[in-house]
């Protein structure tokens, strides 16, 4: 199954002492792993095109795995941000947003410590690494040419 | 202000050269329903939004769309970077190569350069938001045409994802439109 990802860590959904809110959030929003593949976080907002399923993302190494995690959590924030712009009074959504901010910062730290800066202000390196390849538009170069 | 984040919104790693798809795809960068028009439309309209919801939503969607410009331009770059001049010419991109080499130039799929006349800024919230809703629907339709033109999963992934973002943005703009309408604008 496409979304049967046992690696997904639900722990940051936990809100101490408020399991009820947790359930509301899970019903309104899908988790970031599934949401990132679909392109939306709200459960009832997904409108698939014809019979297409989202294309599974298969990171081929540790670099891609850690980067995709950052991108997934960043995406969750982008989409929840738009929802909150229109629904700033939704406390449960804001709590979920705060949890994702924490998870994103953790994932970003794990990536940047090992593979270089994501923001130009990430500077815990011996040298200035901001300019280093790859830039987001680079790819590793394929071998299957038509 | 803006600061750069050194990753795309969604992974793009196209392994198969496809000049023809690059020629079609470029319209979602510099065409009338493309991401550049979307980004600049909302960026410009945000200054006349009357309250916090409108300012926030147009600002934040404009920002996201600028990231989508980068996604489309990245796809075009990866689809064409290894193409020969003969391959470009065979797909009708000889003139494009003459003007821009292997650069990624914002135009539509016919080669017409991007123009600001693709969007309006009226200073009227209902008029601007109606345009924004229509723009999202038109961009969704173009993404569906592009999806119909390819079977490469490296392209389908980002195209399906970008199409769904149009659906989400339409819903947010519609919420804002209905909210202002109810307020008597």
pLDDT of residue A139: 83
Between CA A136 and CA B6 the distance in angstroms is 6
Instruction: Catalogue the long-range contacts made by A9-15 (C-beta closer than 8 Å, 24 or more residues apart).
Output: A12/A99, A12/A100, A12/A102, A12/A103, A13/A96, A13/A99, A15/A95, A15/A99
Residue A29 DSSP code: B
CA distance A91 to chain B (A): 16
Residues 6+ apart with CB under 8 A from B63: B2, B39
Q: Is residue A8 part of a domain?
A: no
Residue A136 DSSP label: T
Listed by number, the residues of chain B in 54-113 with a beta carbon closer than 8 Å to a beta carbon of chain A are 56-57, 60-61, 64, 70, 73-74, 77-78, 82
The fold adopted by the segment(s) B19-182 is Ferritin (1.20.1260)
Low-confidence ranges of chain B (pLDDT < 70): none
A144 found inside a domain: no
Report the C-alpha gap between B96 and B23 in whole angstroms: 10
- pTM score, whole prediction: 0.92
Which sequence spans correspond to the domains of chain B? 19-182
Asked if B161 lies within 8 A of A39 by C-beta distance, the reply is: yes
User: How many domains is chain A built from?
Assistant: 1
Terminal-to-terminal C-alpha distance of chain B: 29
Q: Are B11 and A140 in contact (CB under 8 A)?
A: no
Determine the 3-state secondary structure of B163 from DSSP. Answer: helix
Look at residue A83 and give its three-state secondary structure: helix
Q: What is the pLDDT of residues A13-48, one digit of tens each?
A: 444 444 444 455 567 999 999 999 999 999 999 999
Look up the domain containing A38 and give its range: 19-42+58-137
Q: What is the mean pLDDT of chain A?
A: 84
B90-102 tens-digit pLDDT: 999 999 999 999 9
Q: From chain A, pick out residues whose CB is under 8 angstroms from the CB of B9.
A: 71, 74-75, 78
With beta carbons under 8 A apart, name residues in chain B contacting A49.
144, 147, 160, 163
ipTM of the modeled complex = 0.96
Whether A48 maps to a domain, the answer reads no
Q: What is the pLDDT of residues A65-96, one digit of tens each?
A: 999 999 999 999 999 999 999 999 999 999 99
With an 8 Å Cβ cutoff, are A137 and B77 in contact?
Answer: yes
Hey, are the CB atoms on B15 and A139 less than 8 Å from each other? yes
Residue A74 near residue A104 (C-beta atoms within 8 A): yes
Amino acid A10: pLDDT: 46
Query: Distance between CA B22 and CA B109 in Å, rounded?
Result: 9
Instruction: Give chain B's length.
Output: 185
- Predicted local confidence at residue B71, as pLDDT: 97
Stretch A131-140: mean pLDDT: 89
User: What confidence score (pLDDT) does residue A4 get?
Assistant: 42
Within 8 A of B70 by CB-CB distance, chain A residues are 136-137
């Amino acid at each position: 199954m496409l979304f049967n990802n046992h690696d997904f860590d639900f722990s940051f959904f936990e809100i101490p002492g408020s399991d009820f809110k947790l359930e509301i959030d899970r019903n309104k929003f899908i988790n970031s792993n599934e949401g990132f593949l679909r392109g939306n976080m709200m459960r009832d907002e997904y409108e698939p095109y014809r019979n297409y399923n989202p294309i599974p993302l298969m990171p081929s190494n540790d670099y891609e795995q850690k980067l995709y995690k950052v991108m997934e959590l960043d995406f969750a924030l982008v989409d929840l941000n738009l929802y909150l712009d229109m629904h700033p009074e939704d406390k449960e959504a804001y709590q979920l947003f705060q949890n994702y901010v924490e998870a994103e910062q953790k994932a970003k730290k794990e990536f940047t410590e090992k593979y270089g800066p994501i923001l130009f202000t990430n500077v815990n390196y011996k040298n200035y690494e901001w300019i280093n390849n790859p830039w987001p538009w680079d790819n590793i170069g394929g071998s299957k040419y038509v | 202000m803006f600061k750069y984040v050194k990753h795309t919104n969604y992974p793009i790693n196209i392994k198969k050269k496809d000049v023809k798809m690059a020629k079609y795809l470029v319209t979602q960068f510099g065409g009338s329903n493309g991401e550049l028009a979307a980004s600049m439309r909302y960026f410009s309209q945000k200054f006349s939004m009357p309250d916090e919801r409108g300012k926030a939503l147009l600002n934040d969607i404009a920002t996201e769309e600028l990231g989508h410009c980068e996604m489309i331009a990245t796809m075009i770059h990866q689809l064409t970077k290894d193409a020969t001049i003969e391959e470009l010419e065979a797909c009708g991109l000889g003139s494009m190569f003459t003007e821009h080499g292997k650069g990624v130039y914002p135009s539509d799929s016919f080669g017409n350069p991007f123009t600001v006349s693709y969007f309006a800024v009226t200073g009227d919230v209902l008029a601007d938001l109606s345009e924004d809703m229509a723009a999202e629907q038109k961009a969704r339709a173009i993404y569906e045409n592009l999806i119909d033109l390819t079977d490469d999963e490296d392209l389908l992934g980002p195209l399906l994802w970008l199409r769904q973002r149009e659906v989400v943005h339409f819903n947010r703009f519609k919420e804002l439109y209905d909210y202002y309408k109810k307020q008597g604008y």
